[in-house]
Structure 1
């Protein structure tokens, strides 16, 4: 026979039952039999606390039935101390009950040989009042010290467990009695052979005296992830997006992307180990590669690039390694593009997107000069940031570099390049570039109007740059940005630019140099032979270089054709990189001759003012302020 969880309530219930039965046989009052419902329900509660509220109410009703007079409050007054101290209250009750019993016997031997009815009422009502108080104690959690758990639905003899307030109790029986005042409990699925049995409810809160039945049903292994408390979750940070990492848990290996959930249904104590992750030429190592944990916990594994498998391959560096990494506090989300000397990344910070220009680590003579120029840019960073604060320019938010770090990068320290690349942070332009507009090109008035607006506002940007003592040195369609999307047809694009021409921005001030200072920056497809000549000879930068590039940009937008000297300049740069300065300059002179003899072929229906501006820019016979005036 099962042992009651509340011995005190059980004993009082039996005692009350006996008292009522004795009183019934003495008085033959059948109403007393109805009051048995209180003790009988209390016996049930002594086995399971969840019935305590009902048995308390029924005991109160039983007391009222057995003593429907003014004696009922007296019965409770006699019994109330039981709530505060069971044994003292019980002794006080037994003493009063014994006195009343003796008085009743005394009345039975002296005339009129009958005790007052109130004594009989008190003799039966007081035990029931005491039982009501005992049920209230049970309802408040007193007198219990056991929580009972039962399982239904798993094969007999299957190992299972209860974790009660972080204490794990294992069992192979259908019923588990835990000595406890209660608390938070969980259990987990169990595995029998190749089958899983899943609890319908695997967690809850219990109190001492509760009896909890856990129903199991068959399920699949994939359903284990529903039981978070029965898993160990590993979360990887610092890896590029979509990269798989691995952990070994208690000798078994698991793989996943970003998050791995490992079932821990057999063992609450987990020993884990994380492995290196190789991405391209970079190995990401976990800062903490092994440890222990317990079931239900989340383990964060932070990876960092530590080992470079190969020396820096200057021609094959993959800018995607920055994706999902922080560069100077900006979270890189994508690679936008790649130029001759730099990568351009898209990054996010505080809910806003930015473009990050990162210098390429390529070893060449021209690139070595470019590094020097890049370092010079950082010396001018405050001036360039201030210069970019103009409605016609893409704003620079920050310029980051360190001369020593740049030196380390060119010695092959790829970890420095990965973490601290020389970079310029700029506003991100959602509308793309003028280069991307070329597929809308048609020999129509609308297209010519679009080109005119672009050239005019780039000229305004150049005037601001030149007036502040700088030369841009890299004017080209790829560096003409639109702050907002323009539309998907010529009419929408033209209307957008007419309504809000300030969305046109000249970008990449990272190429800028002070007027008259040495430089080495040129895009052969749009640069002038004179600009390359000055770069090779170490002569100073001139505003006319930007005007020429603006003319070639306009020519390209109107015709779709490239500069006639682009190939010349490419070849000259190759010879320069190979230290053949004489040949490089010879080719530059050939390019200058080509330009002087060139008569650009521009469609006949292009407006005359736009045609003249383009030709005069290329010939070097116009200045930026004249461009804006002529294109009004």
Structure 2
């Protein structure tokens, strides 16, 4: 009985009732008309049935219209013509005809004057009923119906309104339902579709079935998605919703909260403590709507009691310009125990550290005076900019061509204290980046082995440059410039082997570009350069405040290829660039710019001498890349194409 009511065609039912009234009038005036056409009465009966069962309506159409064609009368044809309009709004047109019929019966003089016979209205009543059934055949007038199977009740959005539905949903013209998995008695029930639409006259069915796994991708609108920003990559974090704690073991992985029965929830975040660093959310609570992505941003703070304790335990430490990174061996930095010092340079120190039996690389930035070997202006404002980009750089480092960055530990207050001479703060809380540990060492390490004398070496260098060009192409396409491409920053993820042929076979899949922390956005001011690998305009840009350009990386890549092939770091302009840095730091900007111009003149006439067995395509890459004119240098993509 429920289905009959829900499937009722009110429009056709109203037309049938009006046709019944018309039949009563016809019977009073001319009983012989109906007795001579019993099929018309049978059609009226079937029209009532068709109001509840759509598939009966073709029979009603035939019973209501065909008998009129067999009546050899012009009036019948006129009535049929009038009834055609009933296909638009049948019950309204049926009412108009019935009223007209009654008026003409009550005013016989009008019939005489106009010449219209009341019998025409009799034919029109049944032809309108016939065309009303034609309309009903297409589904017009019947409700849109959606039936739910597998559950007796569920929560859903019906035509944009969140409500509870019980087995059957109907709408006058259209029913659109957005469905979600439902949770009852410890079991999830999943619908066979996320969205279903039933139009006028349609009956659609949704089936729910029990499951142990939620297909999140199929129902994205049924969940809230929480993302952490500002946490180390491998940091565990959590949120609390309705007294239930949801946890992610990796800050790069979102917390996905199912919301099958509600449109919004209240969430709460909490502090994350890693070692002696507290990561505090900028917002501790809020409202999450279904399908919404919430980003919880964290700022790092060193616990004040830890700062006080560190001050009390202050060691006899050297000044920053004479800093010894071996002091960190055995110490825990940000939850990572330092095992050894891998290397050091003008920009900082690379430490090998361990946590949970896994090794990591920790790059600690130098805050010492500038050296001739490398320029790094580590002002606190520069670190602030780096921290702002930390999440983006972490995401970029997930590309397989880069060393993965796990976390940034940069506190501007500690940096300012260290720059003022507080070496104890630098010892305990240095600005650092934690990265995955590369077991295969660096390209610079290969220069100290006999592999460079092998016939495979030029081919190995070609593979290294090609893979780094791939990495730079990706980085540049994302709007960033690396600014410190050099052999020391080219890493190998695993041990390459013991002989040249084995190394050549293994190297392509192991190459990664490191030190992504030095990268800045294209056009942005920067303070990073290594004079032995940098083009003159890079040092000039630091002095004049010009922005970073991808062609700076291309020059550095060309110089890297030259150094790897020859084993010589005899860049003819590095001396001028180092002197320019010294002049700039001494406040003599004019002298610094003059030295840079001298470097440009020297570079314009330099023709590097390469080994005879250098592949011709690699020779072209080097020559094109170290061109004095940045516009004449190839793009990273063009280098990849040249070396394929």
Aligned to 1:338: 344
Q: Does 1:359 align with 2:365?
A: yes
Name the count of aligned residue pairs: 329
Checking the alignment, whether the CA contact within 8 Å between 1:314 and 1:362 is kept in structure 2 is yes
How far off is 1:445 after superposition? 3.5
How far off is 1:308 after superposition? 4.2
Aligned to 2:433: 424
Checking the alignment, whether the CA contact within 8 Å between 1:445 and 1:606 is kept in structure 2 is no
> What CA deviation, in whole Å up to 9, does each residue of 1:238-282 have, x standing for no partner?
9xxxxxxxxxxxxxxxxxxxxxxxxxxxxxxxxxxxxxxxxxxxx
Q: Does 1:479 align with 2:489?
A: yes
How far off is 1:304 after superposition? 6.1
Please list, as runs of the form range in 1=range in 2, the aligned pairs for 1:177-256 lying within 5 A after superposition: none
Q: Does 1:534 align with 2:546?
A: no
> What CA deviation, in whole Å up to 9, does each residue of 1:583-625 have, x standing for no partner?
1111111111111111111122211111111111111421100
Aligned to 1:509: 516
Distance 1:417 1:473 in 2: 25
1:520 aligned to which of 503, 524, 527: 527
Please list, as runs of the form range in 1=range in 2, the aligned pairs for 1:590-609 lying within 5 A after superposition: 590-609=598-617
Q: Could you say what secondary structure the match of 1:315 adopts?
A: helix
In structure 2, runs of 5+ residues without a counterpart are 1-274, 276-305
Checking the alignment, whether the CA contact within 8 Å between 1:405 and 1:420 is kept in structure 2 is yes
Aligned to 1:246: none
The 1:577/1:441 distance shift into structure 2, 3 A limit, reads farther
Aligned to 2:354: 348
Distance 1:544 1:367 in 2: 20
Aligned to 1:618: 626
Distance 2:622 2:394 in 1: 30
How far off is 1:306 after superposition? 3.3
How far off is 1:582 after superposition? 1.0
Checking the alignment, whether the CA contact within 8 Å between 2:406 and 2:435 is kept in structure 1 is yes
How far off is 1:340 after superposition? 0.3
1:468 aligned to which of 460, 467, 478: 478
Aligned to 1:628: 640
In structure 1, runs of 5+ residues without a counterpart are 1-237, 239-286, 288-302
The 1:305/1:408 distance shift into structure 2, 3 A limit, reads closer
Checking the alignment, whether the CA contact within 8 Å between 2:321 and 2:369 is kept in structure 1 is no
Distance 2:451 2:598 in 1: 31
Q: Could you say what secondary structure the match of 1:601 adopts?
A: coil
Checking the alignment, whether the CA contact within 8 Å between 1:324 and 1:333 is kept in structure 2 is yes
TM-score (norm 1): 0.50
The 1:589/1:330 distance shift into structure 2, 3 A limit, reads same
Please list, as runs of the form range in 1=range in 2, the aligned pairs for 1:246-325 lying within 5 A after superposition: 306-308=312-314, 313-325=319-331
Please list, as runs of the form range in 1=range in 2, the aligned pairs for 1:74-93 lying within 5 A after superposition: none
Checking the alignment, whether the CA contact within 8 Å between 2:573 and 2:602 is kept in structure 1 is yes
TM-score (norm 2): 0.49
RMSD: 2.1
1:412 aligned to which of 402, 408, 421: 421
Q: Does 1:544 align with 2:554?
A: no
- Which structure: larger Rg? 1
Checking the alignment, whether the CA contact within 8 Å between 2:397 and 2:404 is kept in structure 1 is yes
Checking the alignment, whether the CA contact within 8 Å between 1:432 and 1:482 is kept in structure 2 is yes
Distance 1:352 1:433 in 2: 20
Distance 1:628 1:613 in 2: 10
Q: Could you say what secondary structure the match of 1:488 adopts?
A: coil
How far off is 1:362 after superposition? 1.1
Distance 1:379 1:360 in 2: 19
Distance 1:371 1:334 in 2: 27
Q: Could you say what secondary structure the match of 1:539 adopts?
A: coil
Aligned to 1:372: 381
Checking the alignment, whether the CA contact within 8 Å between 1:441 and 1:557 is kept in structure 2 is no
Checking the alignment, whether the CA contact within 8 Å between 2:559 and 2:622 is kept in structure 1 is yes
Checking the alignment, whether the CA contact within 8 Å between 1:456 and 1:627 is kept in structure 2 is yes
> What CA deviation, in whole Å up to 9, does each residue of 1:160-192 have, x standing for no partner?
xxxxxxxxxxxxxxxxxxxxxxxxxxxxxxxxx
How far off is 1:474 after superposition? 0.1
The 1:474/1:599 distance shift into structure 2, 3 A limit, reads same
How far off is 1:374 after superposition? 2.6
